[in-house]
Amino acid sequence: MMPEHLATLPTSHVGRRTRRALHSSAVRLGTAVTAATAIGCNPLPWPSSEPAPSSQPVVLDYWDAQSGGPIITPLIQRFQEQNPRFTVNVTSMSQTESLDKFLAGFAAGTAPDVWKSTLVYNADFAARKASANLEPYARSIKNDLLPLALEEGRRYKNTLYNVPSEMDVYLQYYHGDLFTRSALKPPDTFDQLVEVGQRFLRLGTPDEPVWTIQVTGARGGHFQNLMICMSWNGAGVRNGLFDDKGNCLLTTAASVNGYQFWGDLLHRHRIAPPPNTTGVSIASGRLATQWSFLSTIAGLDRNPGPDKYGTAKPPAGPKGRFVPWGANGWMMYSGTKHPTDAWQLIAYLVSPEVDGAFCEARGVMPSNAKAYQQSWLQRPAYRPAVELLQTPQQMLLIPTWLPEWSTFVTEIAVQRNQKFLAGELPARQALEEMAAFLNAAQKKYLAA
Q: Which domains does the chain have, with CATH numbers?
A: 34-168+325-394 (3.40.190.10)
Q: CA of 180: how far to CAs of 174, 204, 252, in Å?
A: 11, 15, 39
For helices 69-82 and 339-349, give the axis angle rounded to 10 degrees. 110
- Nearest to residue 368, comparing CAs of 11, 31, 9? 31
Answer whether 345's CB lies under 8 Å from 116's CB. Answer: no
Contacts of 251 (CB under 8 A, 6+ apart): 428, 431, 432, 435
The one-digit pLDDT tens for each residue of the chain (448 residues) are 444 433 332 222 223 333 333 344 343 333 323 322 322 333 333 344 556 666 889 999 999 998 888 999 999 999 999 999 999 999 999 988 999 999 999 999 999 999 999 888 999 999 999 999 999 999 888 889 998 899 889 989 999 999 999 999 999 999 999 999 899 999 999 999 999 999 998 888 888 899 999 887 666 556 666 666 666 665 678 888 899 999 999 998 888 888 899 899 999 999 999 988 888 999 999 999 998 889 899 999 999 999 999 999 999 888 888 888 888 999 999 999 999 999 999 999 999 999 999 999 999 999 999 999 999 999 999 999 999 998 888 888 888 899 998 898 888 988 998 899 899 999 999 999 999 999 999 999 999 8
Answer whether 41's CB lies under 8 Å from 7's CB. Answer: yes
Distance CA(401)–CA(245), nearest Å, equals 16
pLDDT of residue 65: 92
- Nearest to residue 140, comparing CAs of 76, 48, 54, 60? 48
Distance CA(134)–CA(329), nearest Å, equals 12
Sheet of strand 171-175, all strands in order from the earlier edge strand to the far edge: 289-292, 171-175, 309-312
pLDDT of residue 202: 87
Answer whether 116's CB lies under 8 Å from 65's CB. Answer: yes
Helix or strand holding residue 421 (H, E): helix 413-421
Distance CA(213)–CA(288), nearest Å, equals 7
**What predicted TM-score, i.e. pTM, was given to this entire model?**
0.80
pLDDT of residue 13: 27
pLDDT of residue 213: 92
Helix, strand and coil percent figures for the chain, each rounded to 5: 45, 15, 45
